[in-house]
Amino acid sequence: METVCYGNKKITFEIKRGKRKKTAAIHVTPAATVVISVPRDMEEERVCEIIEKKARWILEKKEFMSSRGHFNVTKEFVSGESFLYLGKQYRLKVIKSAARENACRLIAGRFQVQIGEDLDAESGREAIKKALVEWYRKHAEEKLLERLPNIARKAGIKPKAVEIKNQNKRWGSCSRSGVVRFNWKVVMAPISVMDYVIAHELCHLIHGNHSPQFWRKVQTIYPEYDLKRRWLKDHSNITDLF
């Protein structure tokens, strides 16, 4: 195990040497340990440089993995549970009110959901869930439409329309007619991962499959797209939360 410093924090990591040619791959395990896979002949000094370059991402991923114990696939929609937004965990606080209208806000580092005080337990959970979904969908649309134009310019293509959907097991999709669709749950991912999903779908408007040409196009927009793909794979259970 080796260690590098990033500010006042230390990152301890394991080096795995193998048949890789030029690239290095960093993986933060569910136990929040760091493993970097590198070519057999890569010097240790170079490995440390790579870790230092990715230190911020590594620390963010370690923090998430450490808190993953509070991030259950099956949600009860009760105070104290954690929910993701833009890659960070926020705890839920349920407020019962005489007001009939349910509402969700992200304030003071918490999701605050207001529901009617006369609701029973089951109806209350459904009201909380509905309020959260509405909040997520609204903010997903805002973020996606805000980020898409710049990425579209980089990709050199503009979609005919953008739709926000509840897609099972998919982060996004596109049609031959030029419509791109995004799962609203992608707003739970970090901004950089959301940008990758946008780029991925836009590139599919040019290349319909996952051919080498497709991945080369994606790479022109995000040279480190493989790290974003890894995040999505590690957090695939997000699509089962609601």
Give the pLDDT confidence of 167-184 residue by residue, as tens digits. Answer: 777 898 988 899 999 999
My answer on whether 198 and 223 are in the same domain is yes
Domain assignment of residue 37, given as a range: 2-68
Q: 199 versus 82: which is more confidently predicted?
A: 199
Instruction: Give the residue from 138, 170, 188 where a domain finishes.
Output: 138
| Cα 187 from Cα 206, distance rounded (Å) | 24
- Residue 146's CATH number: 3.30.2010.10
Domain end (from 68, 85, 104): 68
Question: What's the mean pLDDT in 93-122?
Answer: 88
Is 57 found in the same domain as 86?
no
Q: What is the pLDDT of residue 208?
A: 87
* pLDDT tops 50 at residue 105: yes
> Are 90 and 106 spatial neighbours (Cβ–Cβ below 8 Å)?
yes
Are 96 and 125 part of one and the same domain?
yes
Of 114, 138, 162, which one is at a domain's C-terminal end? 138
Are the beta carbons of 132 and 111 closer than 8 angstroms? yes
3-state DSSP assignment of residue 147: helix
Task: Please tell me the total count of domains within the chain.
Answer: 3
Q: Give dist(CA 205, CA 223) in Å, integer.
A: 19
Confidence of residue 67 (pLDDT cuts 50, 70, 90): low
pLDDT tens figures, 125-177: 999 999 999 999 999 999 999 999 999 999 999 899 999 988 777 898 988 89
3-state secondary structure of 73: coil
Q: Which pLDDT belongs to residue 70?
A: 46
Strand partners, 112: 93, 105
The torsion angles phi and psi of 229, rounded to 5 degrees, stand at -60, -40
